[in-house]
Structures are given as structure tokens and as C-alpha cells.
Amino acid sequence: MIYSQAISPPNQLLSSEQILETLHKGLDGKFHDRRVLVLIPDHTRSLPLPFLFRALVDVLHGTKQLDFMVALGTHPPLSEESIH
């Protein structure tokens, strides 16, 4: 199991630097030359997805193959445009 966490103060968001630091701490070097699939939420969840996507690509740069799959959940199917 890989575990790393960052806790924000009440009513505050984590900074980009804190998120990057936490991702590096939990993932750096753990998947070198391995195939990795990252499940990302669809538009029904609120998070800084473009930032998180770029951060994960940066942190997991040493993987053999890095793929992302949208976790669609149980709501009605999304259009191709909504997925992108």
C-alpha cells in the first residue's frame, strides 16, 4: 500500500506546492518502468483536475506506460464532448 497525506487547516485549501509535495512523497520512484492506470473523476466531482492531471504526469514520468481512465460512476452516460 502506498500512503501519503496532507491535511489542510479548517476552511482552507491545500496549496499547489503541498499537493505536489504529497504526490512526490507517496509516488516518487514507486512505479518505475511499470504500467500504471490512474482513475480520474468525471465532471460531477469538484477538484482541480487539470492541475492534478499534469502533476501526476510529472510525478509518474518514469513509468513504462501511463494511462488515465475516467471513472464515470452510476449517473447517466456522458457525451464524448463531456468526457474530453
Decide if pLDDT at 21 tops 80: yes
Q: Look at residue 57 in the predicted model and tell me its pLDDT.
A: 95
Report d(CA 71, CA 41) in Å as an integer.
5
Q: 22: left (phi > 0), else alpha (psi -120 to 50), else beta?
A: alpha
Q: Name the more confident of 5 and 74.
A: 5
Reference 41, options 54, 25, 53; nearest CA is 53
Place of cell 509516488: 27
Residue 40 has what pLDDT?
87
Q: What is the pLDDT of residues 24-76, one digit of tens each?
A: 999 999 999 999 999 988 777 788 888 999 999 999 999 999 999 988 776 66
With cell 452510476, the residue in question is 74
